[in-house]
Amino acid sequence: MNTATEGGTHVAFGNRRAAAMTGSIAMVVMFTVLSGLGDAEGFIHASKVWQDGRFVWVEALKCIAGFQFGMLMYWLALWKLSSHGVVAVEVQTLFWFAATIIGVALLSGRVLRWPAIDKAVAVAVLTGIGWLLCRGGREI
């Protein structure tokens, strides 16, 4: 059964390898989304730190907590990305940027009230930024 001529060993090894790759990619996605959401929370609370000319410590602490969580998740995402050979900072940043900007838009709730044309422009702008970041990550 374990002979190379029957191929059982190769198929089993290939299946385990594919499952490990899928799990690793799922972890990249999970850590990146969590990083983006943490940083989005940080940005949202940062916008509330100054109210009526006074520094609001509760918002500052929520801001710090969001950014701390986001950074920890980003480091974990980088750990998994580097294991897949993704080491170009532009590409790594692209994933985080997309997750963060989408997180800010969704968590603030304002994007839901945008007209369709504004949403289309936002998608085009994000696509353009992604294009530039990816182009910058290539060796030219």
pLDDT in tens, 76-103: 999 998 888 888 887 788 888 888 988 8
pLDDT for position 89 = 83
Residue 72 confidence class, pLDDT cut points 50, 70, 90 = very high
- Using alpha carbons, select from 106, 42, 49 the residue that is nearest to residue 71: 42
- Distance of alpha carbon 111 from alpha carbon 107, whole angstroms: 9
Question: Mean pLDDT over residues 114-118, rounded?
Answer: 93
Higher pLDDT, 112 or 120: 120
Provide the 10 A C-beta neighbour count for residue 74.
Answer: 24
Sign of CA dihedral 112, 117, 118, 119: positive
Share of the chain above pLDDT 90, in %: 43
Question: Is 41 in contact with 66 (CB distance < 8 Å)?
Answer: yes
* CA dist list (Å): 113 to 37, 105, 108, 109, 119: 20, 11, 11, 8, 10
Name the range with the highest mean pLDDT among 21-25, 52-56, 89-93, 130-134: 52-56
Question: Is 92 in contact with 85 (CB distance < 8 Å)?
Answer: no
Residue 1 confidence class, pLDDT cut points 50, 70, 90 = very low
Tell whether the model's pLDDT for residue 60 goes beyond 60: yes
pTM for the whole structure: 0.74
